[in-house]
Amino acid sequence: MIRNISYNNDRIKEEIDSLVGSSFSFKERWRMKSIGTPSMQITSCSPEIHELLEKDNNRPVCNAELRPKGIILRFRSRLETYGLIIPYYRLSFYQNGTEWSFHGEGRFIKTMPLQSGKGLQRFKQNLLNLKGSAEQRIEDL
């Protein structure tokens, strides 16, 4: 789902938290070492996201945040911040060379990290671990 997350709206916050969980605690962030990415250039995206991005004259960039039950991809359009919220059980993640592709709920964002390093590799490993453990929990049901 795509939501405008520019403002502190309790209803939207509860909706996001129920879908992907609340933010990791400081202790969990420290242990995981990387729950977010630096800016990544958006190379292509689904039409609904493209309509939002074409309203802005700046370079289309986004960043990702891991949550216990999903991921939030944040991007800006004009002065608003939007989030593509995808639970792990609906997330498909692909890496083709340096391009990362996030798919879920009929929407996608393909990105090219603007920086490289251990932080991105830790993020990718944490993403795969969390996604794998979420799939394992679903299979156990």
Dump pLDDT digits (tens) for 23-50.
999 999 999 988 999 999 999 999 999 9
DSSP code for 24: P
DSSP H or E stretch at residue 11: helix 10-20
**Dihedral angle of Cα 95, 66, 60, 11, to the nearest 10 degrees:** 140
**Dihedral angle of Cα 28, 118, 128, 38, to the nearest 10 degrees:** 80
Cα 56 from Cα 118, distance rounded (Å):
31
Kindly list the domain boundaries of the chain, sorted by start residue. 2-140
pTM of the prediction?
0.90
CATH ID of 2-140, from 3.30.1600.10, 1.20.1250.20, 3.60.150.10, 2.30.29.30: 2.30.29.30
Residue with tokens 């960043």: 63
Given this model, what pLDDT does residue 57 score? 85
Average pLDDT over all residues of the chain: 90
Q: Can you tell me the mean pLDDT for 108-136?
A: 86
